[in-house]
Structure 1
Amino acid sequence: MTKRFTAFYWMTLPAVLLFFVFLTLPALQGIYYSFTNWNGFGKNYDFVGFKNYINLFTDNNVGNAYLFTFKFAIVVTILINILSLLIAIGLNAKIKARNFFRGIYFLPNILSVLIVGYIFNYLFSNVFTVWGKNLGIEALSTNILGSESTAWIGIVIVAVWQGIAFNTILYLAGLQTIPTTLYEASNLDGANRWQEFWKITFPLIAPFFTINMVLAMKNSLMVFDQIVALTNGGPGRATQSISHLIYIGGFQGGEFAYQSANSVIYFIVIAVISFVQVRFLQSREMDM
């Protein structure tokens, strides 16, 4: 048994080394550079202590990026989980071509985020506007991505459309673990559909709800590809997320050390939000 366990450790060693070299080490280097004024080029830089971190809290661009990201993440997380749960319940019912529809709903998940973003960019700019003008619908007559007040809605639509697929599959997996005898017993007791959902379905898929909420929130907070493909942070900075700001400022704006500090704060924020989500939702599972 000892030799077998030793073999297992040796088998995991390559994965650990790759993880350390390509993820852990760059992260540690980023933390190191966050205490300097390095611009990303050359070898000349000075240590500035916590100056970068202090400046982050007085930077309006950083504040606006965090506000947009939080607003976007909350809206997308709620919409994805509501819609994916409704779709999963529908797909779990005994309908014709059920497996076909499951495949169709999962299709967006296997597509590239950038490709989907560019397709929707074309639709918003050239297709929906033509439809709106021909049908006399003023809301569709203009490109919503071109307005500071509506551009974020376009990004939400794309993120929700593509994000629903994965969450639907998880909810389907959860629904299939519920014994049908529970619903048969509830029907004999005269329970309606809402009572079945609230008293049987939702409590039993609560662990899946926790996973979906955490994953949807994490992915939404890290939104980047959709913004690059749809608005590139515009108009102005109206749709600039934290990830996009770090990329633009760090790799194109000569703020490598400054945005490294921003990425450290960003990591802490996501970790704290995920931890709070898990603890709160798991406590709700115990109360159900």
Structure 2
Amino acid sequence: MKSGTRAGKKRLSGRVTFFLFTIIPVALYTFFYVVSVVNGVRYSFTNWDGVSKTYDFVGWKNYVNLMKNPYFWNSVKTTVIYSVLLVIGVIGLSLLLALSLNSLKRFKTLIKSIYFVPAMIGGITISLIWDQIYYRVVPVIGKALGIGWLSNSPLMSTETALPAVVIVQIWQAVALPTVIFIAGLQQIPDEQYESAKIDGATAFQRFRYITMPYLLPTVTVNLVLTIKQGFTSFDFPFAMTGGGPVRSTEVIGILIYNDAFKNMRFSVANAESCILFVIVAFFSLTQLKLTSKGGVRE
């Protein structure tokens, strides 16, 4: 009887300790995230300018006006294109890097450390460095090779500015997905490849029927993370182009920033943020649903 009482007290003590350790994280999460999100949604139904202590509720007016705003739809289009290019570049390049690094026998740790360096540098710092490369180095190379469209900075053209910014973010963002892919590759049983080789399967067949099914869960993780990065991108296009030239790189993040801090329309900016949240949630849930149908279940 006493041992049962002691065990009960020990379990109760463990629960109390666990509860005490979670109080601070839960409180911080609630204050800085939940309360902020709720207030953001509430302010999106007002005409608050971000400064005044008083404001009026205007209902769905901000959302209706956004549906009629061509600049908003231009930013949505730009953001979608930006995200698609980012996903293609990051997923494709990180998968190739993971396959290459996973097959290395020597200097694997050194090479991993080298390619992971960009991930440890801030986005603004990288943007400023590449901005100078585009303005000072690329035109010199273009003129030396006689390539007309490279004779000027690609950031100055409405046709090349967006891809130029995406390339920089791909260079910085490819490290983490590569690590995730390598972790997925290391979970694939070697027996699968050995059996396939004995059966005469080609390298492409082994990749298609063994590697990819096992990698689908990691592909899902990387896709969701990259889609989120694309739709919430701000630092790279803001630091390199500021949304120009002629709004060709004005993603939703820049539009929200301009409406909030330049035009002092915080209520409109909150409405744009809410729409952005719905878009990211939609694409993430769709991707999770599609990829959950495939893969290898053990």
* TM-score bracket for this pair, using the shorter chain length: over 0.9
Q: String of CA shifts for 1:52-109, please: whole Å, max 9, x gaps.
A: 1111100011100000001110111022111110110000003321111111121111
Displacement of 1:13: 0.9
C-alpha distance in structure 1 between counterparts of 2:235 and 2:205, whole Å: 40
Residue 284 of structure 2 aligns to which amino acid in structure 1?
A: S
Give the distance between the partners of 1:150 and 1:116, measured in 2 at CA: 19
Distance of 1:179 and 1:281 partners within structure 2:
21
Distance, in Å, in 2 between the alignment partners of 1:26 and 1:98 is 44
| Residue 63, structure 1, aligned to residue 73, structure 2 | yes
Which amino acid in structure 1 is aligned with residue 240 of structure 2? L
Deviation at 1:6, TM superposition (A): 2.1
Question: Which of 212, 229, 239 in structure 2 is aligned with 1:229?
Answer: 239
Q: Does 1:29 align with 2:22?
A: no
Matched residues in 2 for 1:148 and 1:94: separation? 41
Distance (whole Å) between structure 1 residues aligned to residue 217 and residue 231 of structure 2: 21
Segments of structure 1 that go 5 or more residues without pairing to the other structure are none
Runs of 4+ with deviation above 4 angstroms: none
Structure with max Cα Rg: 2
Distance 1:95 1:141 in 2: 42
Q: Could you tell me how far 1:231 is from its partner in structure 2?
A: 0.4
Match of 1:211?
221
- Conserved 8 A contact 2:213-2:296: no
Question: How far 1:286 moved relative to its partner?
Answer: 6.3
Which of 276, 283, 296 is equivalent to 1:266?
A: 276
Equivalent position of 1:240 in the other structure? 250
Separation of aligned partners in 2, 1:167 and 1:26: 30
Q: Which amino acid is 1:254 matched to? A: M
2:213·2:294 contact (CA, 8 Å) conserved in 1?
no
Task: After TM superposition, list the pairs within 5 Å mapping 1:1-288 onto structure 2.
Answer: 1-285=11-295
Q: Distance in 2 between matches of 1:280 and 1:94?
A: 32
> Letter of the aligned partner of 2:160 in structure 1?
T
Letter in 2 for 1:167: P
For residues 114 and 192 of structure 2, what CA distance do their matches in structure 1 show? 29
CA contact (8 A) 2:231 2:276 kept: no
DSSP 3-state at the match of 1:44? coil
Contact 1:106 1:169 in 2 (8 A): no
Q: Give 1:283 deviation, angstroms.
A: 1.4
Residues of 2 paired with 1:7 and 1:247: CA distance? 43
Query: TM-score normalized by structure 1?
Result: 0.96
Amino acid across the alignment from 1:190: G
CA distance in 1: counterparts of 2:237 and 2:216, whole angstroms: 32
Which residue type is aligned with residue 238 of structure 1?
Answer: S
- Counterpart residue type for residue 80 of structure 1: V
SS at match of 1:155: helix
Q: Aligned residue pairs: how many?
A: 288
Aligned residue for 2:295, secondary structure, equals helix
**Structure 1 counterpart of 2:241, which letter?**
T
5+ unaligned residues in a row in structure 2: which ranges? Answer: 1-10
Query: Percentage identity across aligned positions?
Result: 36
The answer on whether the counterparts of 1:38 and 1:256 sit within 8 Å (CA) in structure 2 is yes
Distance 2:221 2:77 in 1: 24
| 8 Å CA contact retained: 2:214, 2:296 | no
Amino acid in structure 2 at the alignment position of 1:144 = P
Distance 2:104 2:260 in 1: 52
Tell me the CA shift for residue 140 of structure 1: 2.0
Taking structure 2 as the reference length, what is the TM-score of the superposition? Answer: 0.93
Cα shift at 1:218? 0.9
The letter for the 2-side match of 1:46 is D
Distance in 1 of aligned mates of 2:281 and 2:231: 11
CA distance, structure 1, for counterparts of residue 148 and residue 239 of structure 2 = 25
